[in-house]
Structure formats: structure tokens, C-alpha cells
Amino acid sequence: MDYVVSARKWRPKTFEEIVGQEHISKTIKNAIVNNRIAHAYLFAGPRGVGKTTTARILAKALNCQNNINGEPCNKCESCKAFNESQSIDIIEIDGASNRRIEEIRTLRENVKYAPTTGSYKIFIIDEVHMLTTESFNALLKTLEEPPEHAIFIFATTDVHKVPLTIISRCQRFDFRRIELDAIKNQLVKIAESDGVKIDDQALTFIAKKADGALRDAQSLFDQVISFGGKEIDSTVVAKMLNLIDDEVYFNISDAVLNKDFLEAFEISKLIYDNGWNYIDFIMGLTEHFRNILTVILKQDTSFVEATKQIKKMYLEYIDTFKEPDLLRIITYLNKTERELKISQNQKLLMEIALSHLIGMESTTTITELVKNIQEGNFPEYVEKKNEKINSSRQMHKKRSEQTFSEEKTEAKTETHDSVSNIDSNLSKDEIPLIKAIINELGGKEIR
């Protein structure tokens, strides 16, 4: 069987080849060149971003006989032995299956023996946070007084589970999730080398689904190839990954702006019919509103990870939502995500959540309120705000003229209703304050 999965076939053999962690490989290479070697390293970060790979390259480089500028040569006896999984000086331990004290005791015995071919005896412990408290204590003793030749490299996805006493004895490196474009570039390389034709949108789908983990992206890529062959387009990928259509998220934000309640039920049905995961959906929706927020704050799409076409759609939101409203929406969606995880009826909860989102009143800040009262144009202000939201979103969804004008008249005639609307947006502490301000300014008495 000569088929090798992409993640293995493309596993980097030098620091230079590591994708998206340049800040770490550069520091480590310099340390090797300058012979400033620590006895213990801690590699922390999400899964699939290159922690174990970097640990292996570092171990190889430390024992390499013709190390070039901090890089392992991959040709000498030591490098070759490691690449063929036959090194006796570089020992890889899986923390999850060797977590007990007995195994750590064996390791401590092993540490005492000098290396055979290389300069160091190197222990790579993956998923080190899985060790028991007893094991950590035993390990700590070795770390306090390590033999000259011993080097430890720990890797973990859960650094907060590693005792501080261990962390403080290590040189710590925090690995980042890999950026969308870096993942896409790597996939393009793989596709070219394998003679696979794949479009940009399809690559974006895969890279987004992998959520910063290159290894996941490579596995998804393999899956897509075995499903769709050598010519892949985005529809195949969307179908295979059962991806949530981005447009649905835009439909929701439009519905929020247009107070289109029916959309809540239509979208909830769509999620159900497509078999999309409700939690994934709400996470995607949170990201969508986060994207809108960044577009409004930055007035461009530099913080949005998406295709050009989608970025263009985001730009249309520049003059729509107010920042405090978006923050409230994002907070509300976070809360909903937690509730969905324990809900017995996710479909119903989603309908309620979406209706609530669409029904949310816009925030009025105290400064705005005071300014408008001072200028005596409070009711018109509400009207103006509605007009602004509506006119800027008209290109997306036509809102019934009737409802719009009805609302206008309401805003003009019923001052009390508008005031209580604002009340409902304020916290308990703010209401007495606002009443005091209004009284101070000689405004209308509020109930």
C-alpha cells in the first residue's frame, strides 16, 4: 500500500517547512545556533497546529551531527535513525496512555542513562496535561535537577491543566491557530503536487472547517479527493462537509434590521431540514455578527476571513447596526450556545432565540438620550434611526411600506411608548439616573 495521507506525506522535516508558527521556529533556531539550550520546553496551543512536529524537529536538530543554521540535516545517522523511528536517544511518550506514576518512574530511571549517538537524551511527552498529580510530582523532581544530557519537550492542548511548578521550569512557546490563507496556500501546494484541480471557494470551505488546524485541513482535503476525484468544485465540498450556507447568516442579520419575524421560523426549518448542527449554526452566526462588528469598526473587511464575494456582502453593513447592539447580539448568542448544549428541544430553542434576536430593540446610550432631550427632538430621533436602518438595507429585503409608515406615526404620537422602550434597554441602575437627568433638565415626568 503506497497511499500516504497528506498530513503525513507533508509533515515538515525542518523548521523552515513549518506553516504559520514562524515566531516560534525562528526563536528556537536562533537558540540552537547560539547554543542556548533549555532543559525543558513547553509547547502549548490548539490541536493540529504543529506542536508535536516542532518538538520532533527540535529534538532532531539538537542531536544532528551536521546541523545547518539550527536546522536538522535529515541525512546524518542521528536524523536518519529518528526519521525511521529507530532513535534510542529521542524518546516519544504519549502522556494520555502513560500517565501513571509507574510509567514516570521508569522514565526517571531512563533519564539517568547517557545518550548513545547524539549529544542529548530527549524526551517528548505529548498531551502532558493528562499525567496524574503523582506523576507530575515525580516529573518535577527530575526537572529540578536534570542530568546535563537530558532535555524534555512537553506538548499540550490544555496548558491550564499543567501545574505551575512544571510550567515555571520550562521555556514556554504558545502556538497559534493557523491563518486561513496560510492553510489555503498549503492546500494549493498539495493539490498541485497531486495533480488535483480545486477552486478557491472549495479551498476556503475546507480551510474554514479546519478552524486553524492544518492537520484537520489536510485530512478534510484527503476526504474531499476520495469523494470527488481529481476535479473538485465548491458545490461538491459544500455537500460533502454539509456546510451551512453563508447566505443564511446574511438572511438573519437582514431580518434583524427589518424586524422580519417569519424569517426566524423559516431559517429554523432550514437548519432542521438540512440536518445542520444547531451548535455549529449558532457559532457561525456569532462569527457573522462579529464580522459585521469588525467591518463597522474598521470600515473595511481586513478582520473577516472569507471569500471576496462574501467580504463584499459584509461591506454593505457599514452603516447599519450600532456597535452596542452588535455587542448585545453577540452576548445573547453566546448565552444561547450554552443553552443549546443542554437543551432537549434544540429546534424550538433556536426558533425562540432567533425570534428574540429579531425582536431586540436598539440600544440608546445615555449620552444620546441626554443630547436628544436637550435638543428637544426625542421622538424624531427614534424615527430617524428607523429610517436609517431601513434605507440602507433596502437593497437586500423589501420591507412592507405599510408597517414602516405605521411605525413612523407611532413614534411621532406616542412619546410614552418610546420612553418605556428606552427604559427596557437600560439596566436597573441606569433608569433612576436617567430619570434624574430628565427631571434636572426640566423634561417630561416619567412614570
> What residues line the site for Zn ion (CB under 5 A)?
64, 72-73, 76, 79
The amino acid that residue 72 corresponds to is P
Least separation in angstroms between CB 11 and Zn ion: 17
Nearer to Zn ion, 118 or 228 (CB): 118
**Min CB(74)–Zn ion separation in Å:** 6
Nearer to Zn ion, 73 or 241 (CB): 73
Cell 460533502: give the residue: 240
Q: How far is the CB of 73 from Zn ion (least distance, A)?
A: 4
Residue 68 Cβ vs Zn ion, minimum distance, rounded to whole Å: 9
What's the min distance (Å) between Cβ of 81 and Zn ion?
10
What minimum distance in Å lies between the beta carbon of 187 and Zn ion?
Answer: 29
Please name the residues in contact with 344: beta carbons below 8 A apart, sequence gap of 6 or more.
none
The Cα 148–Cα 314 span in angstroms is: 57
Of 42 and 61, CB closest to Zn ion: 61
Q: How far apart (Å, rounded) are the C-alpha atoms in residues 440 and 447?
A: 15
Q: Using an 8 Å Cβ cutoff, are 311 and 204 in contact?
A: no
Burial of 252 (0-12, 13-18, 19+ CB in 10 A): buried
Contact call for residues 383 and 421 (beta carbons, < 8 A): no
Please say which residue, 75 or 189, places its beta carbon nearer to Zn ion. 75
55/411 with CB nearer Zn ion: 55
Grid cell, residue 142, equals 527530575
Which residues are paired to 198 by β-bridges? 232
CB of 88 to Zn ion, least distance (A): 15
CA distances from 145 to 108, 138, 150, 169, 404 (A): 11, 12, 10, 11, 75
Contact 323, 362 (CB under 8 A): no
Comparison of 65 and 363: residue with beta carbon closer to Zn ion: 65
Asked if 349 contacts 336 with a C-beta cutoff of 8 angstroms, the reply is yes
Rounded to a whole number of angstroms, the minimum distance from the CB of residue 215 to Zn ion is 25
Question: What sign does the CA torsion over 257, 263, 265, 267 have?
Answer: negative
CB of residue 12 vs Zn ion: minimum separation in angstroms?
Answer: 15
We find the least distance from the C-beta atom of residue 117 to Zn ion, in angstroms, to be 11
CB of 192 to Zn ion, least distance (A): 29
User: Least separation, in Å, of the C-beta of 58 and Zn ion?
Assistant: 13
CA geometry: angle 141, 146, 149, nearest 5 deg: 155
Range list of H helices, 211-261:
214-228, 234-240, 246-258
Lay out the sheet containing 171-174: strands in order across. 90-94, 121-126, 150-156, 40-44, 171-174
Q: Is the CB of 24 or the CB of 57 nearer to Zn ion? A: 57
Question: Which is closer to Zn ion, CB of 117 or CB of 409?
Answer: 117
Beta bridge partners of 154: 42, 125
The three grid cell numbers given for residue 151, joined into one nine-digit string: 532535555
For 37, residues 6+ apart whose C-beta sits below 8 A from its C-beta are 31, 62, 120, 151
Cβ nearer to Zn ion, comparing 32 with 76: 76
The CA R_g of the chain, rounded to the nearest whole Å, is 29
Enclosing H/E stretch for 351: helix 346-359
Alpha-carbon gap, residue 218 to 198, rounded angstroms: 14
Q: Is 175 left (phi over 0), alpha (psi -120 to 50) or beta?
A: beta
Q: Which is nearer to Zn ion, 76 or 131 (CB)?
A: 76
Rank residues 124 and 220 by Cβ distance to Zn ion and give the closer one. 124
